[in-house]
Amino acid sequence: MAKVKLPDGKLLDVPDGTTIGEIAQKIGAGLAKAAIAAHIQGRTVDLSTPVKGEVDLRILTTKDPESIEIQRHSCAHVMAEAICRLWPSTKLVYGPTVRDGFYYDIDLDEPVRPEDFERIEAEMNKIVTADSPMKRIEVSRQQALQKVAGDPYKTDNIQRATGDVISFYSHGDGFADLCRGPHVPSTGKVGFFKIMSVAGAYWHGDASQKMLQRVYGTCWPTKKDLQDHLDRIEEAKKRDHRIIGRQLDLFSFHDEGPGFAFLHPKGMIVWNAIIEFWRKVHDRYGYSEIKTPIILNEALWHRSGHWDHYKENMYFTTVDEVNYAIKPMNCPGGLLVYNTHKHSYREFPMRVAELGLVHRYEASGQMHGLVRVRQFTQDDAHIFCMPEQIESEIIGVIELVQELYGAFGFKDYHIELSTKPAKHIGSDEIWEIATNALAGALKHKGLAYQINEGDGAFYGPKIDFHIEDCLKRSWQLGTIQLDFSMPERFELVYTAPDNTEKTPVMIHRAILGSLERFLGILLEHYAGNLPLWLSPEHARVMPISEKTNEFAERLVVRIKQAGLRSSLDASSDKIGAKIVRAHADKVPYMLVVGPKEAEADSVSARIRGGQDSKIVSVQQWIEMTKNKIAEKAMDLAI
């Protein structure tokens, strides 16, 4: 008999070989109907999985957050069958899940067009309505290779797979595809879906290989969840930072520099406001700031390990017959600065920050406005410390992260701890020490986190911070990376308390990440209605007629002398047109002045997005606005 322990501690005795689906039925018909998959002994498995011996079991339904990934992966298979039905010559490559959905890469000479999406969805609905069982088939590696003989894609996938047992999943009228699983028990449980787009994709991302078609879809547990997602997408289109950037004249892109952002005067105001605040906070947290060159000798990148692990993303140049690389990261330059002097433990921890301009190659099809560029400024910092200072320094960085994100209005974020990847430098012992130090700091702060096995940087484990914007989209911003290896490569030392030379621990960290990307995220989060302290223009003065132009001109001067940003709309347009223009330019305050306001030294103040006006004295408005900016206030109420 198998002994099954449920999450509530209850024990069930069932015959060995009983499937999880049968156990769900034993527990209750409602659970059996809602069940999607299960966790058993820490693994996610199909409901058809048999149990044996003593096991811990948790049955998953659509109410469990893990279930949506299983539904999406299963929905990808349903889409693959639908495409094969419509285009029988289709060769399937692979179909993983992605954020909010899934895709399938296919080899098909005939292009799939947006007008085909409804046909695909209709065929998928037929497959879902049939509610066919999704069956797992396990075979040996040799049998699997025989099964896919002649298919270069599936043969390659099998050769890349680990283990001696290879699995396929079948459903419907003989459809089967190579897959690790798990899947929902039948096609009727894949959820609610929609085909979203189609794009080109090279096999394994190799431009020398054949161009495939990548069909994207989305899938959600309920019809309402799907509609909410589609509504968010429509709202996101309205908030596209590329459109807002043009409308507000903040930045532009040009064919002469693809992937390189050109910041305009108004964009630079926002940029400098971010940097000014960043510098004040870092100064308060005990950071010094440096600046290192953009181009450094190629030998440096061999020494740092970037040549072996990152060269495909780097740019190179030759000067005086010597090879150089344009830096993709700031750390090697910071290490050279450290080595210009001898250091004592009494100087530790050393917190050294750099707003470093870096360049990384991105394929043209992957670039996207400010959020995916080839040149960006990273708000980097490197902390040099002793091993016993690691946890307290990580805690300090976490507190800095919380303060910075809060000032920009981001209160919701989740944390991921990424561990040793297959391709790495440094010993297993060092990696274990580093990983435990990061986990210890998170536990000290009482922060929940998710573990990403094998997703660390090649030189050390890392903590990543993912913020959530107003559309519930997740953006990875901050990162904290612990590095024992690079200080050894660069022979960094300090004089320890026992007067011996030791190698310092190095903490890499960035909070906002790419400043260009962060600006794009801000614009979309606020739909261009930036917080007052970040707005390129705090107020626009608008005289009702030429009679008050002189007062309006003096008022703009007074506002600027108070350290606020203001402009004058002295056009001959009617005041209604001026207000509409200011709303379109997303100016926080519109200050309307006429003869009465000029006589009383006051303004009729209107708030961005509002229709009501309030008469206040000029001095009162100036003091109120300065206080709101100093407090990083989000509201504009007068």
What are the residue numbers of the active site? 331, 360, 378, 380, 382, 462, 508
Q: For residue 246, which of 371, 370, 365, 375 has the smallest C-alpha distance?
A: 370
Q: Exposed/middle/buried for 281, CB within 10 Å: 0-12, 13-18, 19+?
A: middle
Report phi then psi at 72, rounded to 5.
-65, -40
> For the range 269-273, what are the long-range contacts, defined as Cβ-Cβ under 8 Å and sequence gap of 24 or more?
269/536, 269/565, 270/519, 270/522, 270/530, 270/534, 270/535, 270/536, 271/515, 271/519, 273/533, 273/534
Please give the Cα distance from 593 to 602 (Å, whole number).
8
Please give the Cα distance from 380 to 637 (Å, whole number).
36
Structure tokens at 224: 């309402």
Number of CB atoms found within 10 A of residue 335's CB: 22
Structure tokens at 205: 């991302």
User: Residue 210 carries which DSSP code?
Assistant: P
Please give the Cα distance from 311 to 361 (Å, whole number).
10
E-strand stretches of 95-254: 97-98, 101-107, 135-140, 165-171, 175-178, 192-202, 211-220, 251-252
Q: Which CA distances in Å does 244 have to 6, 464, 469, 527, 623?
A: 52, 28, 17, 8, 30
Please give the Cα distance from 560 to 539 (Å, whole number).
10
| Contact assessment for residue 445 and residue 393, using Cβ atoms and an 8 Å cutoff | no
List CB contacts of 221: < 8 A, sequence separation 6 or more. 62, 67, 68, 71, 191, 192
Please give the Cα distance from 390 to 600 (Å, whole number).
60
Cα distance between the two ends of the chain: 73
Q: For residue 68, which of 190, 223, 240, 242 has the smallest C-alpha distance?
A: 190
| Contact assessment for residue 210 and residue 227, using Cβ atoms and an 8 Å cutoff | no
| Contact assessment for residue 181 and residue 135, using Cβ atoms and an 8 Å cutoff | no
Please give the Cα distance from 426 to 464 (Å, whole number).
21
Which is it for the CA torsion 549, 550, 556, 558, positive or negative? negative
Structure tokens at 77: 């298979």
Tell me how far apart the 2 most distant CA atoms of the chain are, in Å. 95
Please give the Cα distance from 72 to 87 (Å, whole number).
22
Please give the Cα distance from 211 to 222 (Å, whole number).
35
